[in-house]
């Protein structure tokens, strides 16, 4: 019965919240509630949310800081943009093709810190090539 409730909650959240940033905020809220001692259905629903992998492409800027950017090609940010994430600035919207043109693929060594940061805020990642 509990698992059915969790699956229902997860399905409802999937319909309402397609934006991963909002999903990570919900995960953070769930963590806070769990620390306060609230247990049960909400915790299981949060675990179901975290199990769904998000496609991510890690790239390194060619100019300037040469930092790593994470692109989420399946996460629509409106106006033809996809969601992105960097250490500085965190979530944002970006033109996927522009970033591909202005960057090179990141090695696993280069993106490992950003990968860890994204996992800490609730992402389950599926690393793909851009």
Q: List all residues 6 or more positions away from 78 whose beta carbon is below 8 Å from its beta carbon.
A: 93
> Hey, which residues does 105 pair with through a beta bridge?
59
- pLDDT, tens digit, 9 for 90 and up, residues 61-100: 998 888 999 999 999 999 999 999 998 878 899 999 999 9
Global pTM reads 0.62
CA distance 25 to 23: 5
pLDDT of 21 over the 50 cut: yes
- pLDDT at residue 38 tops 60: no
Q: Give the span between the Cα atoms of 84 and 77, in whole angstroms.
A: 9
At residue 120, does pLDDT exceed 60? yes
What residue segments make up the domains of the chain, in order of their start? 2-51, 54-127
| Position with higher pLDDT, 103 vs 14 | 103
Round to whole Å and give the CA distance between 2 and 51.
17
User: DSSP per residue over 52-94, as a string?
Assistant: S-EEEEEEEESSTT--EEEEEEEEEEETTEEEEEETTTEEEEE
């Amino acid at each position: 019965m509990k698992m059915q409730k969790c699956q229902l909650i997860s399905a409802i959240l999937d319909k309402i919240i397609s934006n991963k940033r909002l999903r990570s905020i919900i995960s953070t809220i769930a963590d806070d509630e769990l620390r306060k001692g609230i247990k049960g259905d909400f915790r299981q629903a949060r675990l179901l949310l975290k199990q769904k992998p998000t496609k991510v492409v890690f790239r390194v800027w060619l100019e300037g800081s040469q930092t790593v950017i994470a692109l989420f090609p399946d996460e629509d940010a409106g106006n033809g943009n996809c969601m992105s994430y960097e250490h500085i600035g965190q979530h944002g919207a970006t033109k996927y093709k522009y970033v591909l043109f202005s960057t090179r693929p990141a090695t696993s060594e280069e993106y490992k810190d950003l990968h860890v940061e994204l996992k800490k805020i609730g992402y389950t990642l599926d690393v793909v090539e851009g």
